[in-house]
Each structure stands twice: as structure tokens, then as C-alpha cells.
């Protein structure tokens, strides 16, 4: 790295914190900024490789600034603890590495990026605006030998065509900055973006920050959808209407400013039979957990082997009793039959742990 590049790197990294480092994952291509005490650890997103320091002159991230807003971690420690414990106990024949304390010990706070865009919107719009009104009618009913009149109130909507011009500044409309955003939210639930606060460097203590992998051009389509619903809502309010439908507009966008918001996620992992990390995600606001459940085929085989040994003992006993039946007393045949049935019963259960582990690992259900 030449000294000029090094200086540029240090300049933008120092905005994150003292001695912060840029690192990347060779497996999932995630790019992270992290404090010096967190360097070179296992990738907190995929868990399949150690993070390696990157040369920011060659691999300058899409966006390098610290965030404007942050959604802070607020999941209660006992909620995290109990969700992790429940997950660890939900699996029979779990790999030895899958236990509550290991998962909690490896819990890593990670911030996921979200784009925020400020934009000036100008243009014409048209829509049908709906206004609620009430009508009162009377219904006659024959009850208890009498005609009775009942007043019925009904709300209806009057629709009117409206057109208008719009010129307005919209700030901080959010759009995903990670390709994986929808997948993560599908697993642990949506983030409550309304809990956003202005960013302070102290918010980053102990955390690793995932940098965006989705450029603003891609995120813009999502931001436009969010903007359109904000604009439709504003037009509805301006008309003092109760509903909107058929909203159409021909907008012109100017002065786009892109900044970021960070979203809180905890990640942890356990190692399965093949020493492969299986990731466990916890929502930083709600504590909701998602983890892939992998049973240990090794433990299943061990238990099956123990059952097989017990079965063999029963089998020998059965044969001995049959022999006794021929040589000493015929009563032994009855005992041989009983022990024989037991042998078949015990032997049959040997396949259960194997079947269970196979079933979990093939159709493992996200918990
Ligand atoms: Zn990775």
C-alpha cells in the first residue's frame, strides 16, 4: 500500500473510531469496519471464514461515512438468554458445541446498514380522494307483536378526482443497503425503524459494522416506492381526504443525498459434526432468534451402537433359553419367547436416533 492510499484510508476510517480497521470475508464477500480488538475473527454473517484486512485503496467500499442515524440495541438480556436456551434445548442429539453458554459467549453485536435518502420532489399528481360521510336510515322490524323503528348509521365514501402540483423536500426515506436484508428480516422479523436516533460514536462499542453491498442506484427503486406512498399520504392530508386511490404522478427528483442508518443484529454460531459453523441470528430490538438446527449424526450412531450391543446380549440370552428348553425344562421356551420379543423391540429402536438425526438435518425447521 503506498503512503498516499494509506493516508486516505486512515482518514475515513478514523471517522469511525480510533484504529478502526477495514476487513472482508472471502466467503460471503461481506465488508466490515471494526474496532482493533475485533480484528480477524470469524465472519459474523456467514461464519465460514476469518475476516481478513483489506486494502481500501484497491477495494474502496461503496460508502465509507459513519451513519447519520442508528437504531440501538434494546433486546433485554434475559430475553436473549431465554431464547438462546430454548433453541439449544430444542434439539435432541445436538452437537456438543451447541449449548447455551457457548452460544451466549459468542454473541456478537453487528450493525446492518440501511440507506437513507434526502430528495427534493417536484411534479404533477392526480388521484381520487375519498371523503367519509354518514347516512342515517330507518329500518322497520316486527317484534313482540309490534312494528319497531331502528335508526341505522352507515359510513360511505364519496370519491372526487383531484389534481395538484407538488414541490417538497423529503428527508431520510429508508431503503435496504444489503442484498441480504429481506432474507434476514424474513428470519427474525422486521426492524422497527421508527426507533431511530441520531448517531453517537458510543453506539458502536463492541460492535462490528457491515458496510453496504447494494449501491444507491439499486436502492433507489425501493426508496421511490416509499417516497410515492409518503407523497400520496401528504396529498391526501392536503385535501383533508380520508382515503386515496389511483394515485398517479410525474415526479422530478433533485438533490439526492445518501446517508446511512444502522440496524441492530446479534449473531452467534455453533460448530456441527463437520466443524462447520451454523449461524444463529437474534433481533437486536426484540431478541427473536433464528438458527439452523443440525443434529449430530455421530451421537446418533453412538446411541445406535449401544442399543445394538444391548440387542446382542438379549439375542444371546434368547438362544441360551432355547437351548435350555431342549435340554433341561420346556418351561424355558416360554421365557425364550418373551426375551425374543424384547430383543426385536429393543433392536428396532436402534434406528430411531439415526432416523431422527437424518430427519432434522434434511428437513430442519428454523426455530
Ligand atoms: Zn462471511
Q: Tell how far the Cα of 64 is from the centroid of ligand 1, in angstroms.
A: 19
Please give the grid coordinates belonging to residue 171: 428527508
CA distance 367 to 67: 32
Lowest mean per-residue pLDDT among 47-61, 126-140, 241-255, 307-321:
47-61
Residue 7 has pLDDT above 60, yes or no: no
Say yes or no to pLDDT of 350 above 90. Answer: no
Query: Could you tell me the pLDDT band of residue 58, with boundaries at 50, 70 and 90?
Result: confident
Q: How far is the centre of ligand 1, averaged over its atoms, from the C-alpha of 49 (Å)?
A: 6
Look at residue 91 and tell me whether its pLDDT is greater than 90.
Answer: no
Q: Does pLDDT of 27 surpass 60?
A: yes
pLDDT at residue 241, rounded to an integer: 93
- What is the whole-number distance in angstroms between the Cα of residue 324 and the centre of ligand 1? 66
CA distance 219 to 174: 9
pLDDT of 57 reads 67
Find all residues with CB under 8 Å of 182, minimum gap 6, and list them: 176
28 CA from centroid of ligand 1 (Å): 4
Give me ligand 1 centre to Cα 97, in Å. Answer: 20
| Distance from Cα 336 to the centre of ligand 1, integer Å | 60
The predicted pLDDT at position 259 comes to 93
pLDDT digits (tens, 9 = 90+) for 243-288: 999 999 999 999 999 999 999 999 999 999 889 999 999 999 999 9
Spell out which residues have Cβ within 5 A of ligand 1, the ion. Answer: 25, 27-28, 30, 43, 45-46
User: Which band of pLDDT confidence, cut at 50, 70 and 90, is reported for residue 60?
Assistant: confident
pLDDT at 102: 94
| Distance from residue 44's CA to the centre of ligand 1 (Å) | 7
pLDDT reported for residue 180: 92
CA 177, 190, 16, 53 torsion: positive or negative? negative
Low-confidence winner among 74-78, 122-126, 149-153, 256-260 (lowest mean pLDDT)? 149-153
Cα(144) to centroid(ligand 1), Å: 76
* CA–CA dist 333, 341 (Å, integer): 12
Res 366: pLDDT: 46
pLDDT of 64 reads: 82
Ligand 1 centroid – CA 25 distance (Å): 5
Ligand 1 centroid to residue 31 C-alpha, Å: 9
Centroid of ligand 1 to alpha carbon of 32 (angstroms): 10
CA of 364 to the centre of ligand 1 (A): 22
What local confidence, expressed as pLDDT, does residue 367 receive?
41
As a whole number, the mean pLDDT across the chain is: 89
* Domain boundaries along the sequence of the chain: 1-61, 72-123+167-292, 124-160, 297-363
User: What's the CA-to-centroid distance between 34 and ligand 1, angstroms?
Assistant: 14
pLDDT, tens only, 208-254: 999 999 999 999 999 999 899 989 999 999 999 999 999 999 999 99
Q: How far is the CA of 19 from the centre of ligand 1 (A)?
A: 22
Determine the distance separating the centroid of ligand 1 and the alpha carbon of 200, expressed in angstroms: 27
State how far Cα 202 lies from the chain centre.
Answer: 25
Contact present, 311 and 347 (Cβ < 8 Å): yes
- How many Å lie between the centroid of ligand 1 and the Cα of residue 218? 22
Question: What confidence score (pLDDT) does residue 8 get?
Answer: 55
Ligand 1 geometric centre to CA of 42 (Å): 8
Instruction: Tell whether the model's pLDDT for residue 84 goes beyond 50.
Output: yes
The mean pLDDT value for 148-171 works out to: 91
- Average pLDDT for residues 323-335, to the nearest whole number? 86
**What's this model's pTM, rounded to 2 decimal places?**
0.81
Of 331 and 159, the one with more pLDDT: 159
CA distance 226 to 359: 42
Residue 267 Cα, ligand 1 centroid: separation in angstroms?
12
| % the chain with pLDDT above 90 | 63
What beta strand segments (E) does the chain contain?
21-24, 31-34, 52-53, 69-70, 108-143, 146-176, 197-198, 208-210, 243-271, 277-283, 289-291
pLDDT for res 208: 94
pLDDT band at 150 (very low <50, low <70, confident <90, very high): confident
Higher pLDDT, 74 or 55: 74
Tell whether the model's pLDDT for residue 15 goes beyond 60.
yes
Report the separation in Å between the CA atom of 211 and the middle of ligand 1, taken as the mean of its atom positions.
12
CA of 333 to the centre of ligand 1 (A): 65
CA of 266 to the centre of ligand 1 (A): 15
306 C-alpha to ligand 1 centroid (Å): 39
Percent of the chain beyond pLDDT 70? 96
CA 164 to ligand 1 center in whole angstroms: 49
Determine the distance separating the centroid of ligand 1 and the alpha carbon of 112, expressed in angstroms. 13
Residue 296 C-alpha to ligand 1 middle, in angstroms? 24
Amino acid at each position: 500500500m503506498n503512503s498516499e492510499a494509506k493516508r486516505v484510508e486512515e482518514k475515513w476510517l478514523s471517522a469511525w473510531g480510533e484504529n478502526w480497521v477495514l476487513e472482508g470475508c472471502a466467503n460471503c464477500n461481506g465488508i466490515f469496519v471494526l474496532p482493533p480488538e475485533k480484528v480477524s475473527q470469524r465472519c459474523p454473517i456467514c461464519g465460514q471464514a476469518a475476516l481478513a484486512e483489506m486494502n481500501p485503496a484497491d477495494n474502496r467500499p461503496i460508502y465509507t461515512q459513519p451513519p447519520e442515524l442508528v437504531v440501538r440495541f434494546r433486546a433485554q438480556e434475559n430475553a436473549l438468554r431465554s431464547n438462546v436456551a430454548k433453541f439449544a434445548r430444542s434439539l435432541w442429539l445436538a452437537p456438543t458445541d451447541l449449548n447455551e453458554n457457548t452460544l451466549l459467549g459468542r454473541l456478537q453485536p453487528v450493525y446492518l446498514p440501511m440507506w437513507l435518502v434526502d430528495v427534493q420532489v417536484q411534479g404533477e399528481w392526480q388521484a381520487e380522494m375519498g371523503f367519509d360521510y354518514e347516512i342515517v336510515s330507518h329500518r322497520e322490524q316486527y317484534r313482540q307483536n309490534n312494528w319497531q323503528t331502528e335508526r341505522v348509521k352507515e359510513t360511505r365514501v364519496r370519491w372526487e378526482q383531484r389534481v395538484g402540483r407538488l414541490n417538497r423536500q423529503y428527508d431520510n426515506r429508508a431503503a435496504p443497503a444489503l442484498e441480504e436484508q429481506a432474507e434476514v428480516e424474513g428470519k427474525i422479523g422486521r426492524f422497527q425503524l421508527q426507533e431511530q436516533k441520531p448517531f453517537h460514536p458510543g453506539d458502536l462499542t463492541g460492535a462490528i459494522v457491515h458496510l453496504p453491498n447494494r449501491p444507491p442506484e439499486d436502492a433507489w427503486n425501493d426508496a421511490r416506492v416509499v417516497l410515492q406512498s409518503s407523497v400520496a399520504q401528504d396529498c391526501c392530508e392536503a385535501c383533508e381526504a380520508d382515503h386515496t386511490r389511483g394515485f398517479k404522478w410525474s415526479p422530478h427528483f433533485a438533490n439526492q443525498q445518501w446517508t446511512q442508518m444502522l440496524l441492530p443484529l446479534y449473531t452467534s454460531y455453533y460448530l456441527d459434526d463437520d466443524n462447520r459453523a451454523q449461524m444463529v441470528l437474534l433481533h437486536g430490538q426484540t431478541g427473536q432468534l433464528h438458527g439452523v438446527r443440525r443434529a449430530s449424526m455421530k451421537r446418533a450412531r453412538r446411541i445406535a451402537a449401544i442399543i445394538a450391543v444391548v440387542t446382542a446380549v438379549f439375542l444371546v440370552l434368547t438362544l441360551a433359553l432355547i437351548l435350555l428348553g431342549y435340554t433341561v425344562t420346556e418351561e424355558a421356551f416360554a421365557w425364550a419367547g418373551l426375551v425374543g420379543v424384547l430383543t426385536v423391540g429393543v433392536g428396532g429402536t436402534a434406528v430411531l436416533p439415526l432416523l431422527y438425526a437424518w430427519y432434522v438435518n434434511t428437513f430442519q425447521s428454523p426455530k
